[in-house]
Amino acid sequence: MQGDTVVVTANRTERKLSNVTVPVNIINAKQLQQTGSLRLTDILKEQPGLTISSGFGAGVQLQGLNPDYTIILINGEPLVGRTAGVLDLNRIALGNIKKIEIVKGPSSSLYGSEAMAGVINIITDATTAIPLQASLRYGTYQTLDAGINNSIATKSIFYQGFYNYYSTNGYSIRPNSSSRVTTPIDRFTTNQQFKVNLSDNTNLALGLRLTDEKIQNDISVSNGGTTITSNGKEHNTDQNFNLTLNHRFSNSLKTSFRGYSTEYNSKQDLVTVTGSPYYDLLNHLFQRIENQTDWSINKQLNLQIGAGSVWEGVKSTRYDSEKVRKNNSIQYGFTQLEWDANKKLIVIGGLRFDKNEAYASAFSPKISALYKLTTKQKIRFSIGEGFKAPDFRQIYLDFTNAAAGGYSVFGTAQAQQVIGQLQTMGQIGALYDNYYQLKALKPEYSTGMHLSWDYEPTVNSLLSVQVFRNDISNLIQVQQVGAYITGAQIFSYLNIGRAFTQGVEIEAKQKIAKNLIVSGGYQYLETGDKDQIAHIKAGTVYTRDANGYSRLLTLSDYVGLPNNSKHKAQLKLSYYKTNGFFANVRALYRSQWAVNNTNGNEVYDNGDEFAKGYVSVSSSVGKDYKNGFSVQVGCDNISNYIDASNLPNLPGRTYFATIKYQISKK
């Protein structure tokens, strides 16, 4: 029911949705508007197969894999500035978004590292149909969102500017308390796009994006029976610049040269509960040049060849020196061949090679196919290998948390040296076997398989069933390698893990009346650590029963990887009329998930701590008028479900009202 939309993320070139060989979910501008979504977090949490994580910002888990395995793009270019592997999606405003394309499954054959789970590509609007658009939204917790979008176009020049200001006073779970789940925020975002047609076959495009965010941290903590408030400020900036030269040699041959630079800065000043100052700095600079050439050899064969080079560097107070930038460079090449065998069968094979200065080189192959059983039924199958490079944190981290027992975490680049120096100084109480296994980290690898069946009996009906499996090897895990003489723990990183995720996703949509559509999705997910399962089968893992007595753990007690729910479902009822009136009700269900290992066996089982399952219901109503005005009111989390510890990104019941005005070309 999405029609034959053109997508770009699946193949890194324009293809009709009906002809792509991998599963792609599309969120269009109309959906964004009618749900009243402000930030990327708002809309992604309602998509099948996606879960929003809550640690270190709002990250996205795709098919059971952690946020650091999904690459986030804006117009095909990656965002940086992850904290503990999480890219905070609250940074991304949706005011000028044309659509969001979600590709599930390993995509490293096209996008390299961080695309083990999939790709989310946010594509901004570049239309000239709306020269001016302004919007204003106000809601609970004194939340204000104001945006202006304008465009100017001639025969050879195009310009579009987007400006957004967002502020909120945060919200408090407990009345009359300054302990906030979301702290007061002021955020400004602008996106500038320029395009010049140098000739009929050549154009030059320039993109600029800036986000400036200020956060006030007010956190109340109980210290010895006394409540102490920690005060601090956090300032984050995100700058992106890209320049693209496109040239078409003929109808069958075109090429693009791209240059991209992005820099993320995060600075935090905080007075801790003990009264001592705390300062944290992160600076991540990423630069890339790339060429991609597409050649339609004949009606059946399409070839894509690309190559590029990446330079990136990070400075952080959590590394051995915040003044010295840790650098890395990557050279890569990729190719993809598409074979349109006949009207029913399309097969695509791809391969990418990444040469990385910091770790061993990586090959990423993938093959996928689309077979049209009938005009109403399609089968898609793909199998590919994804990889994720060790990040700067895992290599260079030098962090001791004096406020939480004095534990330390050292990256592999200096772990043995630093621990050796501490041992010479008489500060080491014990070294474990893991310490002697420390060595340069290798990339994590994932082999993913995906099978889907799409059935569209009428233009008003759609059913999709997807089955997936991901097997991860060389999983990088934090392990205790020693202890101080005080008993405080010392950790580092090793390639010792093997894991899997597998499941089924079902999506359906049905027009049940002239103006009424019901749609929904469901995911069943299983995850697990293969080594832990082997130990359970061998009878070497114990837990405690309800009376506190030790007993052997069985596979029926095992719940898999933490922060994953076995069941997740969405249901949406949408009503619209040709006069511009629309209304919708949306429900989201998530079953319980493990959050803390409380019985000390390092395995997540039924005896550990779980977050409760919940249901969240949201609704919005609005009307678009012919004179360019539109109004909308809504309520998110109508059921007012709150879990401050496990769902800090889900506030209580929130109301909002939006007014928008736009001038459209007739």
Q: What is the pLDDT of residue 406?
A: 81
Q: Which pLDDT belongs to residue 138?
A: 95
Q: Which CATH class is domain 6-663?
A: mainly beta
Residue 174 burial (CB < 10 Å; 0-12/13-18/19+)?
exposed
Round the CA-based radius of gyration of the chain to a whole number and report it: 26
Could you tell me the two tokens for 106? 């390993």
Supply 186's token pair. Answer: 């002021």
Separation between Cα atoms, residue 628 and residue 120, nearest integer Å:
31
Smallest Cα–Cα separation from 2: which of 70, 75, 74, 100? 100
Q: What is the predicted pLDDT for the residue at 222? A: 45
The stretches in the chain having pLDDT less than 50 are 221-228
* pTM metric for this prediction: 0.91
What local confidence, expressed as pLDDT, does residue 225 receive?
A: 47
pLDDT score, position 93? 86
The token pair that represents 506 in the structure block: 């079902």
**Residue 7: Cβ-neighbour burial (10 angstroms; 0-12, 13-18, 19+):** buried
pLDDT of the residue at 452: 96
The set of residues, in sequence order, having a beta carbon less than 8 Å from that of 219 and lying 6+ positions away, is 178, 179, 180, 183, 229, 230
For residue 143, list its beta bridge partners.
Answer: 139
Nearest to residue 503, comparing CAs of 68, 48, 115?
48
d(CA 636, CA 502): 31
Around Cβ 498, how many Cβ atoms within 10 Å? 16
